[in-house]
Amino acid sequence: MHADAATLKAAAAQTLKELEGRALGPRDRLAIPCQDMPAQDPMERIRNMNEVALGYSAEQARVEASRCLDCKNAPCVQGCPVGIDIPRFLKLAAAGDFSGSLAVIKESSLLPAVCGRVCPQEVQCQAPCTVGKSLKGVEKAVSIGRVERYVADLERAEGRRAKAVVAPDTGKKVAVIGSGPASVSCAADLRKAGHAVTVFEAFHRPGGVLIYGIPEFRLPKAIVDDELQGLRDMGVSIETNYLVGRTRKLADFMSEDGFDAVFVGSGAGLPTFMNIPGENLVGVFSANEYLTRSNLMKAYAKGEAATPIYEADTVAVLGGGNVAMDSARTALRLGAKKVYVVYRRTIKEMPARVEEVAHAMEEGIEFRFLENATRVIGDDKGRVRAMETVRFELGEPDASGRRRPVQVAGSEAELAVDAVIVAIGNGSSPLIPQTTPGLNTDDHGRILVDENGMTSLDGVYAGGDIVLGAATVILAMGEGRRAAASINRRFLG
């Protein structure tokens, strides 16, 4: 399962030599071996915060890209939320033209180094890939994301990123609220069009969920900082410690501060709890809190960081998404001896990326499927000592098409744990809708927008998780770009 980078690179070099000069038919391409992602050794990596997946070598990137059949109908492009011309970028990568390859990606995506790492490719571009279908396994599809990551990382490593071309000043001012993927994409497109853009971030450090939510071992913060620096270099101004709704009301931006349009990309920051007894005991955390302490506040750097993080030997994480995987793997790295992921369905229904689940399993996280917590039990000091669980079995499919878990009568049991992390999803951040009269939301608190991304308030646009509910980086990015395009049209009109 686990192979080291040098071995993989050497094998790829050999493959490349064999392929050289040959005209490759589909059959030949299907025979090219899938390129595994080199990764840190599991037993090693659970003791550090460094990135787990180490990235392809040039040889591996070329071999993997060579597996693409260049299908006429390009089903992969249909699977990509922002419609990247995948066959074209893979063809250039296969030929070794990595900067040309990246240029193709950048026509559609602004954050390739991020998306290459965090996109759920197996349900997007790689799901309909003909190679995967021919070889009867989505895991055998062309690893589009890994090649994307390689060409983006190479540019950064070589420091040859070209400064974005910015159109002459239009005299228009736009406020962008939040600094996560939706906002960053929106701000970049608006600035390129020549508008003055100010990004307002509540935290002391910009980047949104990419900074506070996704751990270093999955997305190095240097990559996010680099993207934000790119934004600043274009002339986008970023104001931190600015909570729209409290520091200033959204309405004031347009009525008093002279902004011509506003984009709200404030995300899905409201943690969902289980609403079970004992949830407010000491040692129960929302994944947001646990991950923010570790990621943004760097609590993992004990002795250096002033923010503490709860010390626990046995940790239960509730949930089955990426956030649950991130929480479980963070707990392990912070010194937990045993980490459980408790999920009420089975591995098949888990929304987490396949790679994250595989990594978590390699690292020794114990998955307890078809199980859920019904109560958290404390000791005499109000600290978590156990969790009451029940077992489920899968019944009829529900509205989402997944088989509904049904509780097994009399299956109550006690699981000894000393911390519980609740990672069952996030709701939309309520502060801006609450403090902005006339801004309409749906029953879940998500801001309602029209087909142009505009809200019920004229000139106020929204996108990303505040509109979608907790979704993905690439979808948020697409939303930010759509709103930017609408704002541009508004200014021209």
Partner 1 sequence: MNEILEKKKLSDDVYSMTFKAPRIAAERKAGQFLIIQLDTSVGERIPLTIADADPVVGSISIVFQAVGETTHRLAAMDVGQSIANVLGPLGRPTHIEKFGRVLCVGGGIGVAPMHPIARAMKDAGNDVSIIIGARNKSLVIMEEEMRRISDKVLIVTDDGTYGRKALVTEPLKEACESSAPPDLVVAIGPPIMMKFCAETTRPYKVSTVVSLNTIMIDGTGMCGGCRVTVGGKTKFVCVDGPEFDGHQVDFENMMLRLGAYKGQEKEAHHKCHATLGIKEEVK
Enumerate binding residues for partner 1 (CB under 8 A): 202-205, 212, 240-243, 246-248, 269-271, 273, 275, 279-283, 285-286, 288-289, 292-293, 297-298, 301, 304-308, 310-311, 381-383, 429-431
Q: Which residues does 465 contact at the CB level (< 8 Å), separation at least 6?
A: 180, 182, 209, 267, 268, 426, 428, 471, 476
Give the chain's count of helices (H) and strands (E): 20, 16
To partner 1, the closest distance from the beta carbon of 347 in angstroms equals: 28
Q: Name which of 431 and 448 has its Cβ closer to partner 1.
A: 431
Q: Name which of 163 and 204 has its Cβ closer to partner 1.
A: 204
Q: Are 285 and 326 in contact (CB under 8 A)?
A: no
Q: Name which of 171 and 308 has its Cβ closer to partner 1.
A: 308
**Locus of tokens 């990004």:** 199
To partner 1, the closest distance from the beta carbon of 320 in angstroms equals: 20
To partner 1, the closest distance from the beta carbon of 343 in angstroms equals: 21
Tell how strand 371-378 and strand 284-286 pair up: unpaired
Neighbours of 167 (CB within 10 A): 10
To partner 1, the closest distance from the beta carbon of 255 in angstroms equals: 15
Distance CA 479, CA 476 (A): 5
Q: Name which of 63 and 439 has its Cβ closer to partner 1.
A: 439
Q: Name which of 429 and 455 has its Cβ closer to partner 1.
A: 429
Q: Are 13 and 59 in contact (CB under 8 A)?
A: yes
**Locus of tokens 């040959």:** 22
To partner 1, the closest distance from the beta carbon of 214 in angstroms equals: 15
Distance CA 70, CA 177 (A): 40
Question: Encoding tokens for residue 361?
Answer: 């399993």
Phi and psi at residue 20, in whole multiples of 5°? Answer: -55, 135
To partner 1, the closest distance from the beta carbon of 374 in angstroms equals: 17
Q: Are 271 and 470 in contact (CB under 8 A)?
A: no
Distance CA 342, CA 388 (A): 12
Q: Name which of 150 and 310 has its Cβ closer to partner 1.
A: 310
Q: Are 46 and 364 in contact (CB under 8 A)?
A: yes
To partner 1, the closest distance from the beta carbon of 310 in angstroms equals: 7
Q: Name which of 167 and 301 has its Cβ closer to partner 1.
A: 301
To partner 1, the closest distance from the beta carbon of 477 in angstroms equals: 21
Distance CA 406, CA 192 (A): 52
Q: Name which of 33 and 382 has its Cβ closer to partner 1.
A: 382
**Cα 102 from chain centroid (whole Å):** 20
SS3 234: coil
